[in-house]
Amino acid sequence: MTSTFAPPTPPVRMTDATDLVATPPMGWNSWNAYSCAVTAADVRDAADAMVETGLRDAGYEYVVVDDCWMAEEPGPDGRLRADPETFPEGMAALADYVHDRGLRFGLYSSAGSHTCQGYPASLGRERLHAEQFADWGVDFLKYDNCGDHRGRGPRDRYATMGEALAAVDRDIVYSICEWGQSDPWVWGREVGGHCFRVTDDAVAKWRAEDEEFGLGIADIADRMATLDITSAHGPGGWADPDMLQVGNGPDSGQSQHEPTDVRRPLTAAENRSHFALWCLLGAPLMVGTDLRSVDDDVLAILTNEHLLAIDQDPLGAQGTRVRCDGDVSVWQKPLTDGVAVGLCNRGEAPTEIRARPPVDADGYHTLDCWSGEERASSGELCATVSPRDTAVVRVTPH
Ligand code: GLA
């Protein structure tokens, strides 16, 4: 007897993950600049500014609308609707605008009943929403962990959306934002994820006190240094220490909702350390500052070609903290042709930091990633580092 039952075809991704995200994704996301007040005009301006400022040409590719783009109620068919006030032309038109500028378009939803700001989300409607995203021209989905989970565990909830995205006729980068609560680096790739958030939200501060919201840059450095996740990180799947706060201050994003006495903007040195550390970690680089008012110093950090080359190195290794004593920490990231070394001064006074070269050679070549200065060298690496700043040296054996 022949059966009329056809087994479901296993979903096939259009492009293999190792090609789709061969290096950590780079782009801009609305949350750290605009929080829940984001509008279509903000996103269009960000896309224009990505082109005008040179961010696009430096490699930043995705323009992602975070939480709060949806109408308060889904459509009668369960589909998500764009907020008619703030995104009046809808998401397909916005995606077109972004694509027309040579960029890719991203959206946000959550693996729960609601988003973190209480808007409708995708649990139980994954297929429908994935098809909607594909129809609209979405290239990147940030998938958060808020709302009612209806008793379902994280792996199951994230796998359902992973399967739904794999079944649509479009490449969509799947950024799992589970905050690192259930070791998403262990199962993230298996459920189709391309990035796995491993931390709570990064805030625009060097350190956040216990009673304050989120994690400061140095707090995230400490967390990343204690997680043993380098083997999960590489082409096709990237550990994500959250989006960039470089260039942000007390009036950016969620910081504007905090009491004034806990607002501490990042200084120039802290901005440099933040960016250097994310590049040494091989992190996804999602710029989070208001590009209408970004200043040249911040842009110079975000487009530093030597640091971007370290982040985007094809080997795809995650840097690790190899030393931490007192105010000094040393990070190393293996590269295709050598090693990047970060010398971080977490203290309040300028400090000379010395480190053994990480390559097994009599002589080596160094590139100071901030100044661009190159040297032939031997012996110890040495840099005088300002308070809360980070020197980054690319070391290549002769
Ligand atoms: C969570 C996420 C953030 C951001 C907000 C939006 O806090 O971790 O990155 O997406 O939700 O509400």
Q: What is the predicted pLDDT for the residue at 127?
A: 98
Question: In testing the pocket of ligand 1, which one of 35, 36, 67 has its CB within 8 Å of the most ligand atoms?
Answer: 67
The mean predicted confidence, pLDDT, of the chain is 94
Please classify residue 72 by burial: count the beta carbons closer than 10 Å to its beta carbon, then call 0-12 exposed, 13-18 middle and 19+ buried. exposed
Q: Is residue 152 very low, low, confident or very high in pLDDT (cuts 50, 70, 90)?
A: very high
Whether 119 lines ligand 1, by a CB cut-off of 6 Å, is no
Q: What is the predicted pLDDT for the residue at 305?
A: 98
Residue nearest to atom 8 of ligand 1 (CA): 201
Residue nearest to atom 3 of ligand 1 (CA): 201
pLDDT per residue over 186-203, tens digit each?
A: 999 999 999 999 999 999
Distances (CA, A) of 78 to 32, 75, 130, 150, 191: 29, 5, 12, 17, 24
How remote is the CA of residue 177 from the centroid of ligand 1, in Å?
8
Q: What is the predicted pLDDT for the residue at 253?
A: 73
Would you tell me the crossing angle of helices 126-136 and 154-167 to the nearest 10 degrees?
40
Q: Is the pLDDT of residue 336 over 50?
A: yes
pTM of the model: 0.95
201 is catalytic: yes
pLDDT per residue over 42-58, tens digit each?
A: 999 999 999 999 999 99
Q: What is the predicted pLDDT for the residue at 6?
A: 55
Out of 118-132, 205-219, 333-347, least confident range: 205-219
Distances (CA, A) of 69 to 2, 81, 114, 264, 338: 49, 9, 13, 28, 43
Q: Residues 66, 67, 171, 201: which is the catalytic one?
A: 201
Q: Is the pLDDT of residue 108 over 80?
A: yes
Residue nearest to atom 11 of ligand 1 (CA): 116
pLDDT per residue over 353-363, tens digit each?
A: 999 988 887 89
How remote is the CA of residue 281 from the centroid of ligand 1, in Å?
21
Q: What is the predicted pLDDT for the residue at 249?
A: 79
Whether 67 lines ligand 1, by a CB cut-off of 6 Å, is yes
DSSP-derived pairing of the beta strands 26-29 and 285-287: parallel
Q: What is the predicted pLDDT for the residue at 261?
A: 65
Q: What is the predicted pLDDT for the residue at 236?
A: 97
Q: Is residue 217 very low, low, confident or very high in pLDDT (cuts 50, 70, 90)?
A: very high
Q: Is the pLDDT of residue 128 over 60?
A: yes
Give me the mean pLDDT over the 315-332 stretch.
97
Q: What share of the chain is helix, strand, coil (3-state, %, to 5)?
A: 30, 20, 50
Q: What is the predicted pLDDT for the residue at 1?
A: 41
Q: What is the predicted pLDDT for the residue at 353?
A: 98
pLDDT per residue over 288-318, tens digit each?
A: 999 999 999 999 999 999 999 999 999 999 9
Q: What is the predicted pLDDT for the residue at 383?
A: 96
144 is catalytic: yes
Q: Is the pLDDT of residue 259 over 70?
A: no
Residue nearest to atom 12 of ligand 1 (CA): 116
Q: What is the predicted pLDDT for the residue at 2?
A: 44
Tokens of 273: 């350390």
Q: What is the predicted pLDDT for the residue at 256?
A: 65
Out of 257-261, 316-320, 348-352, least confident range: 257-261
Listing DSSP states for 72-141 in one string gives SS--TTS---B-TTTSTT-HHHHHHHHHHTT-EEEEEEESSSB-TTS-B--TT-HHHHHHHHHHHT--EE
Whether 178 lines ligand 1, by a CB cut-off of 6 Å, is no
Comparison of pLDDT for 247 and 261, the residue scoring more: 247
Q: Residues 66, 67, 139, 144: which is the catalytic one?
A: 144
Q: Is residue 323 very low, low, confident or very high in pLDDT (cuts 50, 70, 90)?
A: very high
HEC assignment per residue over 295-359: CHHHHHHHCCHHHHHHHCCCCCCCCEEEEEECCEEEEEEEECCEEEEEEEECCCCCEEEEECCCC
Q: Is residue 257 very low, low, confident or very high in pLDDT (cuts 50, 70, 90)?
A: low
